[in-house]
Amino acid sequence: MRMSQGDFLTKDFKNEKFMESGQSKYVSNMRMLAAVQDSIISSLLENKWSAKLDIREDLTSLKTNLEAYNNTFSKLAEAYKKRGIKDFGDEGELRAAVRAVEESDYKIDMVQLLTLRRIEKDFFLRKDMGYVEKFTSEITAFLDKIDNGGKGQELKIKIATYEAKFNAMVKDEETIGLTEKLGLMGEMGNNIYNAEPIIEKLERLSNARYREIVFQTILTFALISLIELIVGFVLAIKFSKSLNSNIQYVRSAAIKLSEKIIPEQLEIKTQR
C-alpha cells in the first residue's frame, strides 16, 4: 500500500491523464489492497484465536487506523485533482486568470505583474504562507495604480479573479499539507504512526507462534524417531536371541551327527 501511495505522489499527481479523467491505477491498487486488507482483519476478528491470543483489541484498532488511512488517501487524490496542473483544475484557472490580466487593453505595470508571478511561484516552491501575505500586499499596490475608468474597472475585476484563483490554490495546498505533518499528508502520517506499533506487535506474536509451532513439530518428529529407534532396537535384540538359539541347536545336532549319534528331532523356530 505504501508503494502505491508513493507511486501516486511521485507520478500520477503530475499526470495530465489523471487530471483529465480522475483515473489512476495506483489509486485503484490502493482500493483493491484496502478491500483485501479489511477482509483479512475481519476474518481474524471472527476467528476464536483472536480472543485466545488476546489480540482482538489490537486488530480492531488496526482496522480503524487503516480505514482512516485509506479514506484520507482517497481525499488526498481528490485534493490533488482539484488542485490540478498546467491547464487542469485550479492551477489551470489561475493560469487563465493571469493570461486575462496580461492580455488586458489597459496598459499595466508589467514589472509589478512579474513580481506577483515570482511571489506566486515562490509560494508553490517553498509552501511558505509568508509569500501569501506578500502577494496580497503586492496586489493592493497594483490595484492602487489603476484608475476607475471603464478599462481600469475591467482590469481590476480580472486582477480580483487572479487573486481569488491564487487564494483557491493556497487553500488546496493547505488541504494537501504545506509540510508532511500538516493537512491530509499529516493525517496519513498519523494513521501510519498509530498503525505501525500494532503491526509490529502482531508480527512479533506471529513470529513467536511460528517458532513455537516449529519447535513442537521438531520435538514431535524427534520423539517419533526415538520411539522407532527403541522399537527397532528391541525387535533386533529379540530376533538376535531367537536366531542365536536356533544356531546353537543346529550346531549341537551337527556335533552329534559327527559322533554318529542320531540327535533328537530338531524344531527350528523363526520369528514372523
What is the domain count for the chain? 1
> Is residue 160, in this structure, part of any structural domain at all?
yes
The yes-or-no verdict on residue 270 having pLDDT over 70 is no
- pLDDT tens digits, one per residue of 118-163: 999 999 999 999 999 999 999 999 999 999 888 999 999 999 999 9
Which amino acid, one-letter code, is at 166? F
The yes-or-no verdict on residue 62 having pLDDT over 90 is no
> Is residue 45, in this structure, part of any structural domain at all?
no
For the chain, what is the largest distance between any 2 Cα atoms, rounded to a whole number of angstroms? 154
Between CA 199 and CA 55 the distance in angstroms is: 11
> Is residue 140, in this structure, part of any structural domain at all?
yes
Residue 170, pLDDT score: 97
Between CA 91 and CA 126 the distance in angstroms is: 17
- Please, are residues 86 and 92 in contact by the beta-carbon 8 Å criterion? yes
What would the grid cell of residue 207 be?
A: 513470529
Higher pLDDT, 254 or 24: 24
> Is residue 21, in this structure, part of any structural domain at all?
no
The yes-or-no verdict on residue 254 having pLDDT over 70 is no
What mean pLDDT is reported for the chain?
Answer: 83
> Is residue 167, in this structure, part of any structural domain at all?
yes
What would the grid cell of residue 119 be?
A: 511571489
> Is residue 246, in this structure, part of any structural domain at all?
no
Buried b (16+ CB within 10 A) or exposed e, 3-23: ebbebbbeebbebeebbeeee
The yes-or-no verdict on residue 176 having pLDDT over 80 is yes
> Is residue 164, in this structure, part of any structural domain at all?
yes
What would the grid cell of residue 78 be?
A: 481528490
> Is residue 153, in this structure, part of any structural domain at all?
yes
Which amino acid, one-letter code, is at 192? I
Judging by beta carbons within 10 Å of its beta carbon (0-12, 13-18, 19+), is residue 158 exposed, middle or buried? buried
What would the grid cell of residue 2 be?
A: 505504501
Average pLDDT for residues 192-217, to the nearest whole number? 77
The yes-or-no verdict on residue 259 having pLDDT over 70 is no
* Lowest-confidence segment of 24-28, 76-80, 121-125, 183-187 by average pLDDT: 24-28
pLDDT interval class at 13 (50, 70, 90): low
Half-sphere exposure of 17 (CA within 13 A, CB side): 6
Residue 169, pLDDT score: 96
| Domain with 170 in it | 89-176
Residue 192, pLDDT score: 84
What would the grid cell of residue 181 be?
A: 505533518
Average pLDDT for residues 17-42, to the nearest whole number? 82
0.75 exceeded by the pTM?
no
Q: What is the DSSP letter of 12?
A: G
